[in-house]
Structure 1
Amino acid sequence: MARTFPLHTHVLALALGLVLLVGGLLAFIGQQLAGNMLSAVAEDQSLRINREVRGSLYQLVQPADMALRLLSEDALADAATLEERLRRLPAARAALAGSAALSSLYVGYGDGQFFFVRRLAGEAERARFEAPPQTAYLVQSIDRDAGGALRGRYLFLDAALGVVAQRERTQYPDAFDPRRRDWYRDAPQDGELLVTPPYPFFSDQQVGITLARRAGNGSAVIGADIRLHTLGAVLARQKVTPGARLVLADGDGRIVALDDASLPVAAPDAPDARGVQRLQHLQDLAHPAFRGQGGLIAEARAAPGGTLARKRVVDGEVWLLSATALQMEHVDASFVVMAIPEQELMAGALHQRNVALVITVLVLCIAVPLTWLLARQIARPMRALAAEAEAIRRFNFAPVGAPRSRIREVEVLGETMGGMRQTIRRFLELNTAVAGEPDFDSLLPRLLGETLSATRAQGGVLYLATDGHLAPVATLDGEGHPLPDTASWAATDAEAGEWMHARPPGQIAQAARALDALGPLLGEALAARAVRSAALTDADLVALGLQAQANALGVSQAIAVPLINRQGELVGALLLLLDAPADDDRLAFISALSGLAAVTLEARALIAAQKALFEALIRMIAGAIDAKSEHTGGHCARVPELARLLAQAACEAEQGPYADFKLDDNGWEILRIAAWMHDCGKITTPEYVVDKATKLQTLYDRIHEVRMRFEVLKREAELRCLQDILDGADADARKRLRDEELVALDDDFAFVARCNQGSESMADADVERLHRIASRTWTRTLDDRLGLSHEEAARRQAAPAALLPHPEPLLADRPEHLVPRRTDECFAADNRWGFRMQPPRWRQNLGELHNLGVRYGTLTEEERYLINAHIIQTEIMLRSLPFPRHLAGVPEVAVSHHEKMDGSGYPKGLRAEQMSPLARMMAIADIYEALTARDRPYKRGKTLSEALSIMARMAREGHIDPALFALFLRSGAYLAYAQRFVEPGQIDAVEVDALLDGQETGQPA
């Protein structure tokens, strides 16, 4: 099962989760928005820097261009000698003064002469040229001497343009020819401005650009050098973050300016043949952000608008790279490249995020205990409802004072839970009350009364359906009293029993109504098979005969409830009378209740029908046993009555061992069933054994066969007499011998016939005489194996057939008279039944001498066992039945009526302490009925005094319970039974005190 948590924990977790989620989302979104904003800002900054650099570059180029325009028209362009040119120095100085970036102005002439004016702004520059300290300008000149040869000179001028020093540079003309320089060759003929790509200047290796414009004479070209180192300062001022790097590169990716002036722009390699240092490429920079970015400028040149932006991660650090084209007239495209560390760019956003997280944590610190308290407060009613639900689960429906809640759903749930508790409680109380009513006749008003109580109705009528009618079988008001003038409506016990046993009665009650004459309300409910509620109309009251009752109760509304069983059959109906219309809740409850009522009625009817069926089967078996023999008929029916009288006497005893003896309904049912079934095993006992009145009786009385043998002997005596006379013997003497022999045979047969009756005990002399008589023989001339059953023929196979004619004894015990016992009729000493009876060797012994020699009665040992074995079959049969728990004692009571208090009885040899009081009662009832019965073929019924004298002796000898026998006598139960079932001639005076002298001892087990 998944782990669960309390509601307040869920509320707290939800609140915390929402706070964290919202805080996290706000921080994340804020960070993303800030990042996007800063990225946009970075892009704007890139464009702004581009504009700033472009503007700075324009400010560098524009004054120089203006100076070139003026000088191109100045006499300097046409000056042929150095002196002429020096006279135009003020104009050159004015141009240099107009732009700080303008480092030099020069003029290249078509004949190879060159005039170069440089401003020496600092000691470093003066030192580089070894200029005197007061030098402000340097003039580098290549002019022609008087002979026309080119010569080189350096003139050092002060601020007033006065010559401070002059030096000859003889190698200068050979090393430098202006006509071979790009700015000279590429200067447009039309006088347009030429701007060279950035390059290190030959003179000082500073990176800059050259502006050149051809003079009006077409042969001279005026040029100006602009140092671009000032752009580095511009880049440095435009840095977005401390760690950002700004680079100005040309269209080939060569570095023109850096934001850090301390870093060299020129490559560290050796200069080329012209002495020009190569510029570093972007990818040559040591900065990690530019590592491997040689193609960045080419990508930017190809990008729309000449602008490219990307992110790259270097050594775990994210950099934002951008390259923006710098477009300017006359100037080749350059690119401002910017690298910004994202961490620095996002520092503000991250700070805001951290601040938001701190605020979120502070909110959580405040919200957690507050939310916890509020959640527990919210969950308190839910916990109370959970406790109430748990109580309901344990079937504890005691009212629970659940706290009210301001949450509507919780409040509604609490009200619903309370209603559910009340509904279930009422339903279970009704179910318990109805289920606890064992009597069907009492169940009907009980069911109606509990229904009225549960539904708070003012009155009601319970109807049962039968034979197309509804009959009112119970009527009650809200107080549980019968409705006025309805006493005749109640069904009688017999009529209710008829319905209960599903036997259609002629008329259950006088007020029965046909199903089509029940009035609108009840008729509609039955037709729809559903609960209906409506106002009572005159038609309803008249049809149901309830006018007076409705007026007495003051009711105007009614609920009609059809009772339908599980098979969809109508078993009855409820009519509940109300003083106000019923709400939906009550109708729903009544609808559910109707199912319980219908099932209860059906279940009780089924139980009653099963009990009736079981009762009928019991009586059928008992009747079959009694009908098996006309001589024992009624025994199984009389013993239950006798046992009931004795048990009733024991229950009413106020003193003696049975003063505390009581029987509940289950005990009475056990006694009744056991009494009816106590001899059910006799159904397996051979009929001739039950009815055996003579010793030779089997399926017929074999005395007739013996008599025929005597007749044969008598005929043989007559024949022998006649034969002897024919042979010459004295006729008179022979006839006297014959007559004597016939008299002896008649006397012997009369003796055998008396022995066969078994009415007197056999003495040893009688047995010896039987054997002497049996020694007589008669002649058999026919085969005695013809026409036999296969079983008897099989028994005769043990001995060979005799040759005919064959002398046969008059009486004999033959091998074929012995019927072997089946193995399943023998029980081991430890058999599961506990039987202690030892069966004889033979199942039957039909021997004539064996049967006639029985000393007492007519039954042989084998037949006596067959009679007694009925109790074994009774035990086996009853133990095989699935008795319910409350009837589990039936077999013990039924099979113990042949047990004796001293343990000498059968089939188990139980002693007094092992026998229940009911079993002892059964023993007395069985004996008394057997002694007084008048229908036994082997004896006459004894008088009461004779029977009770025998039983008194049995009590003294420990065969029956003496205390129970005394109760049997003193209560008069023996006489009450005799007056109903014993012949008047058998009822005589009984001296109870004499019979009980010294016997009223003992106690029930």
Structure 2
Amino acid sequence: MEQTEIINSNSLSDDLGNELALQHLLKLAIELSSERCTEKLLENILQSAMELTGCDGGTIYSVLDQKYLEFSTLINRPLNLHLGGTSSKDINYAPISIFNEYNQPNNKALVAISAATRECICIDDVYACSQYDLTAAREMDKKTGYHTQSVLTIPLENHEDELNGVLQLINPKINGEVIPFSAHQISMLKSMGALAAVALTNRQLIDNMEELFQSLTRLIAKAIDEKSPYTGGHCRRVPILTMMIADAVHNYDEGPLKDFKMSDADKHELSVAGWLHDCGKIAIPESVMDKSTKLECVFDRIELLIHKVEIVKRDLEIKFLKALFEAQKQEDLLKQETLTTEYNNEISYIESELAFLQKTNLGGEFMHESSKQRVNAFAEKYELMVNGIKAPILTENEIYNLNIDKGTLTKEERSIINKHMDITIAMLEALPFPKHLKRVPEFAGGHHEKMDGTGYPKGLTKEQMSVPARMMAIADIFEALSAADRPYKEGKPLSECLFIMAKMTQQSHLDPDLFTIFIKSGVYMLYAKQYMKPEQIDEIDITSLPGFTNI
């Protein structure tokens, strides 16, 4: 009868232990499936294992390049130690080599042997064990005053037999007494280790995919950079400025946007959109994207114009010398003097007009109608003879390009440039973005839209755009105005950048609430000090900005 009671008691104890273990496994399974931080994930594994076995402490290691074990979290309750993981306290121990210089298991560290052999190692008494070199554990006990007795080391392997961690536990206790690890505990911990290894693998796969995607977004910016160093700088700076604005808006506690907040996930999504906001430029011809002067195509045709002017001057010189020779034969001094004066005046006029055309070729903010008339008059006045064929000094195409109103692009070329937004949106909408990046196309596709609906490519109004998309519009414009690496213009002074943007805000092109935060938070100055030339950062009187009373 007594024997039966003992058996029933043991059975009940085992049942309770199994139930507790199952509860821990289920709890851990839920935590592992939802935890996004690898460090926290590793710490959860360690703490669950300690709770299941009643251990004093333990350490969990992550794996570096399948060669080293790096301390992730270390806990020792009697010593009140919690290092690494979520503790905010660093573990100042160097990673442990899994193998020695002969590519054999590093027998000076128990965790290295377990990692190298992929075997579970259980030691009942550290001070009685002679199978392994446990000098390091004993030396650590001397330093801390702690007594390590029972040790269990379990390698964490995934379904592909790859090592992705090592778990080490010390001194399990019952009623305050240290006991050896039981076969039942080891079995439960191995099951927990297998579950943890799967979760770690999934987390690492997700992290690797995220890292790969981040690298691809930067690779696109680099590809555009290699194609065009001018727009490449823009592709790198816009996401940086966008995130500066996002942080400022998130922290701003006044005005209509005081309740607008962005989580880390929201900011990550916006950052990805920032890196991809101009990806469509990869399909734009360099001849258009890098057109630094009005006459540039494969080469800058201003050089050709200079040569054509020289031919005209040569022809005028020949004509003048012939006429002068005849006047000299007739000994007509008055005619000689008149011919010389007319010739010198003509050459002076041609050189003056060439200088004007060279300046016009560089482009600018605006070209007056009188300047266009001057280009047309020069074109009509001169022609040159090449191989007996008359040709105009300026072709129709050259006249058309020189008379560009603003910048260096014709209407047709501007249309090609603007098409980069259609290409960007088409590229991004074709990508199967995961749920946490679903808004990337909308964020990236709106930076050329205007609040009054006159922008492109979709003509969206303020109400149709998200706040992050409106942020990127401000970042894109400020970067474009201040950039000193454009082929067709110098970077504008800071005061002029803000003045132009204030006017654009008045004209309902930019979001006034966001521009207010942009100014009042000082984001513009933070960016300027990092990315603008010192000579661009001039004195700024915020009160002089158009519409300041509304800011």
- Report what 1:309 is aligned to: none
Report SS of the residue matched to 1:715: helix
Q: Is the 2:126–2:151 contact (alpha carbons within 8 Å) kept by the matching residues of 1?
A: no
Q: Is the 1:621–1:680 contact (alpha carbons within 8 Å) kept by the matching residues of 2?
A: yes
Query: Quick one: which of 133, 140, 156 aligns to 1:563?
Result: 156
Q: Is the 2:61–2:71 contact (alpha carbons within 8 Å) kept by the matching residues of 1?
A: yes
Report SS of the residue matched to 2:550: coil
- Report what 1:641 is aligned to: 240
- Report what 1:17 is aligned to: none
Unaligned runs of at least 5 residues, structure 1: 1-405, 497-507, 782-804, 814-846, 1001-1005
- The count of aligned residue pairs is 520
Q: Given residue 563 of structure 1, which amino acid in structure 2 is its aligned partner?
A: L
Within 2, Cα distance between the matches of 1:549 and 1:535? Answer: 19
- Report what 1:946 is aligned to: 496
Q: Quick one: structure 1 residues 762 and 557, their matched pair in 2 at CA, closer, same or farther if it must change by over 3 Å?
A: closer
Within 2, Cα distance between the matches of 1:970 and 1:412? Answer: 72
Deviates more, 1:904-913 or 1:648-657: 648-657
Q: Quick one: structure 1 residues 716 and 509, their matched pair in 2 at CA, closer, same or farther if it must change by over 3 Å?
A: same
Q: Quick one: structure 1 residues 866 and 933, their matched pair in 2 at CA, closer, same or farther if it must change by over 3 Å?
A: same
- Report what 2:550 is aligned to: 999
TM superposition shift of 1:887:
0.9
Whether 1:598 and 2:197 are equivalent positions in the alignment is yes
Q: Quick one: structure 1 residues 481 and 955, their matched pair in 2 at CA, closer, same or farther if it must change by over 3 Å?
A: farther
Report SS of the residue matched to 1:808: strand
TM superposition shift of 1:861:
0.5
- Report what 1:762 is aligned to: 367
TM superposition shift of 1:556:
2.9
Report SS of the residue matched to 2:472: helix
Within 1, Cα distance between the matches of 2:112 and 2:347? Answer: 95
Q: Is the 2:62–2:71 contact (alpha carbons within 8 Å) kept by the matching residues of 1?
A: yes
Within 2, Cα distance between the matches of 1:490 and 1:416? Answer: 33
Query: Quick one: which of 658, 668, 671 aligns to 2:270?
Result: 671
Q: Given residue 35 of structure 2, which amino acid in structure 1 is its aligned partner?
A: E
TM superposition shift of 1:693:
3.1
- Report what 1:806 is aligned to: 389
Q: Given residue 449 of structure 2, which amino acid in structure 1 is its aligned partner?
A: E
Query: Quick one: which of 409, 413, 436 aligns to 1:886?
Result: 436
Q: Quick one: structure 1 residues 480 and 610, their matched pair in 2 at CA, closer, same or farther if it must change by over 3 Å?
A: farther
Report SS of the residue matched to 1:695: coil
Deviates more, 1:415-424 or 1:456-465: 415-424
Q: Is the 1:671–1:893 contact (alpha carbons within 8 Å) kept by the matching residues of 2?
A: yes
Q: Given residue 888 of structure 1, which amino acid in structure 2 is its aligned partner?
A: K
- Report what 1:823 is aligned to: none
- Report what 2:120 is aligned to: 531
Query: Quick one: which of 946, 959, 963 aligns to 2:509?
Result: 959
Query: Quick one: which of 936, 939, 944 aligns to 2:486?
Result: 936
Q: Given residue 779 of structure 1, which amino acid in structure 2 is its aligned partner?
A: M
Q: Is the 2:320–2:339 contact (alpha carbons within 8 Å) kept by the matching residues of 1?
A: yes
Q: Is the 1:464–1:470 contact (alpha carbons within 8 Å) kept by the matching residues of 2?
A: yes
Whether 1:576 and 2:162 are equivalent positions in the alignment is no
Report SS of the residue matched to 1:955: helix
Alignment of 1:851-870 (within 5 A): 851-870=401-420
Within 1, Cα distance between the matches of 2:344 and 2:87? Answer: 81
- Report what 1:904 is aligned to: 454
TM superposition shift of 1:590:
1.2
Query: Quick one: which of 652, 661, 673 aligns to 2:251?
Result: 652
Q: Looking at both structures, which has the greater relative contact order when contacts are Cα pairs under 8 Å and sequence separation is at least 6? A: 2
Within 2, Cα distance between the matches of 1:514 and 1:420? Answer: 34
Report SS of the residue matched to 1:634: helix
Within 1, Cα distance between the matches of 2:544 and 2:44? Answer: 53
- Report what 2:310 is aligned to: 711
Q: Is the 2:250–2:260 contact (alpha carbons within 8 Å) kept by the matching residues of 1?
A: yes
- Deviation sequence 1:684-708 (CA, Å, 0-9, x none): 3333433333211122210111222
Query: Quick one: which of 914, 917, 920 aligns to 2:467?
Result: 917
Which structure would you say has the larger Rg? 1
Alignment of 1:301-340 (within 5 A): none
TM superposition shift of 1:521:
6.4
RMSD: 3.6
Report SS of the residue matched to 1:644: helix
Report SS of the residue matched to 1:561: strand
Within 1, Cα distance between the matches of 2:483 and 2:31? Answer: 48
Q: Quick one: structure 1 residues 737 and 652, their matched pair in 2 at CA, closer, same or farther if it must change by over 3 Å?
A: closer
Within 2, Cα distance between the matches of 1:481 and 1:490? Answer: 15
Q: Given residue 530 of structure 2, which amino acid in structure 1 is its aligned partner?
A: R
Q: Is the 1:452–1:478 contact (alpha carbons within 8 Å) kept by the matching residues of 2?
A: no
TM superposition shift of 1:910:
0.8
- Report what 1:452 is aligned to: 50
- Report what 2:94 is aligned to: 510
Query: Quick one: which of 729, 738, 745 aligns to 2:350?
Result: 745
Q: Quick one: structure 1 residues 615 and 521, their matched pair in 2 at CA, closer, same or farther if it must change by over 3 Å?
A: closer
- Report what 1:774 is aligned to: 379
Within 2, Cα distance between the matches of 1:868 and 1:694? Answer: 18
Q: Given residue 425 of structure 2, which amino acid in structure 1 is its aligned partner?
A: E
Within 2, Cα distance between the matches of 1:886 and 1:942? Answer: 37
- Deviation sequence 1:334-353 (CA, Å, 0-9, x none): xxxxxxxxxxxxxxxxxxxx
Q: Is the 1:901–1:960 contact (alpha carbons within 8 Å) kept by the matching residues of 2?
A: yes
Q: Given residue 489 of structure 2, which amino acid in structure 1 is its aligned partner?
A: K
Q: Given residue 770 of structure 1, which amino acid in structure 2 is its aligned partner?
A: V
- Deviation sequence 1:33-87 (CA, Å, 0-9, x none): xxxxxxxxxxxxxxxxxxxxxxxxxxxxxxxxxxxxxxxxxxxxxxxxxxxxxxx
TM superposition shift of 1:920:
0.9
Q: Given residue 428 of structure 2, which amino acid in structure 1 is its aligned partner?
A: L
Query: Quick one: which of 35, 45, 60 aligns to 1:437?
Result: 35
Q: Is the 2:280–2:423 contact (alpha carbons within 8 Å) kept by the matching residues of 1?
A: yes
Q: Quick one: structure 1 residues 774 and 564, their matched pair in 2 at CA, closer, same or farther if it must change by over 3 Å?
A: same
Q: Is the 1:521–1:534 contact (alpha carbons within 8 Å) kept by the matching residues of 2?
A: no
Within 1, Cα distance between the matches of 2:283 and 2:112? Answer: 57
- Report what 1:972 is aligned to: 522
Within 1, Cα distance between the matches of 2:139 and 2:445? Answer: 57
Bigger proportion of residues as strand? 1
TM superposition shift of 1:512:
2.3
Alignment of 1:206-217 (within 5 A): none
Q: Is the 1:447–1:597 contact (alpha carbons within 8 Å) kept by the matching residues of 2?
A: yes
Within 2, Cα distance between the matches of 1:624 and 1:527? Answer: 42
Normalized against structure 1, the TM-score is what? Answer: 0.47
Within 1, Cα distance between the matches of 2:221 and 2:109? Answer: 52
Bigger proportion of residues as helix? 2
